């Protein structure tokens, strides 16, 4: 599994469905560089069970992301038409109607490959035929990308394990606090908590007060 933290987020152009039903060809994260932080997350498949709980949970907290000037973008290996159908299915029928942030279609699986979250890999058998080992879907990868397009935080969960939207917001708050103040954020830091200078003296001062 690749660690992308500290590296440029792999860029791409792909079809996305935005605002709950509009198709955008050549959608790219490049549009946010210099303007917004980005939470870019992968989920395995449309019309499944854990995935809608995560996708709707991000939508439910969109006001919090908007306050922080953070774009949220989802991605799976489904077609844009599958995204559109799911976005237009009522929640009580297993859909995600009401979700407005972009859902990217990674039908070629190249985006998942470049972010190293594809839950399997292509190989060749003894007859020289290409085969796929594992599941041809993305793990639950999440990447926090700064305004320069650099990955600053990543987490990758196995398929059955849903993520915490509150933890994503906490990490975004910590990153933005560091960018604005230059102080680093200790364990379980939340806005309003003490931070500290990244020096031996700063650590000692912080620990002496806790």
Q: In the 8-state DSSP scheme, what is residue 163?
A: P
Alpha helices in the chain (DSSP H): 50-60, 62-67, 80-87, 110-114, 165-181, 200-208
Residues contacting 187, CB < 8 A, separation 6+: none
Determine whether 185 is an active site residue.
no
Q: How far apart, in whole angstroms, are the C-alpha atoms of residue 76 and residue 109?
A: 8
Q: Which of 9, 33, 51, 142 is catalytic?
A: 51
Q: How many residues does the chain have?
A: 210
Q: Contacts for 173-176 with beta carbons within 8 Å, 24 or more apart?
A: 173/68, 175/37, 175/144, 175/146, 176/37, 176/68
Tokens of 106: 């990674």
Q: Are 98 and 20 in contact (CB under 8 A)?
A: yes
Q: Which residues of 112-138 are buried (b: 16+ CB within 10 A; e: fewer)?
A: bebbbbbbeeeeeeeeeeeeeeeebbb
Point out the residues that are catalytic: 51
């Amino acid at each position: 599994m690749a660690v992308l933290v500290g590296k440029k987020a792999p860029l791409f152009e792909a079809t996305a469905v935005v605002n709950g039903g509009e198709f955008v060809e050549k959608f790219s994260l490049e549009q946010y560089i210099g303007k917004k932080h980005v939470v870019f997350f992968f989920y395995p498949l449309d019309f499944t069970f854990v995935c809608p709980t995560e996708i709707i949970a991000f939508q439910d907290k969109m006001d919090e992301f908007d306050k922080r000037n953070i774009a949220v973008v989802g991605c799976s290996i489904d077609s844009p038409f599958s995204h559109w159908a799911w976005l237009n299915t009522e929640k009580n029928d297993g859909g995600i109607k009401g979700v407005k942030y972009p859902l990217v279609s990674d039908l070629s699986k190249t985006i998942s490959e470049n972010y190293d979250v594809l839950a399997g890999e292509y190989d060749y058998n003894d007859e020289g035929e290409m085969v796929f080992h594992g599941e041809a879907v993305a793990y639950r990868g999440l990447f926090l990308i700064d305004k320069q397009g650099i990955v600053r935080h990543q987490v990758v969960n196995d398929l059955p394990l849903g993520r915490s939207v509150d933890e994503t917001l906490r990490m975004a708050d910590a990153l933005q606090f560091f960018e604005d103040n230059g102080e680093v954020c200790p364990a379980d830091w939340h806005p309003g908590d003490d931070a500290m200078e990244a020096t031996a003296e700063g650590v000692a001062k912080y620990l002496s007060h806790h």
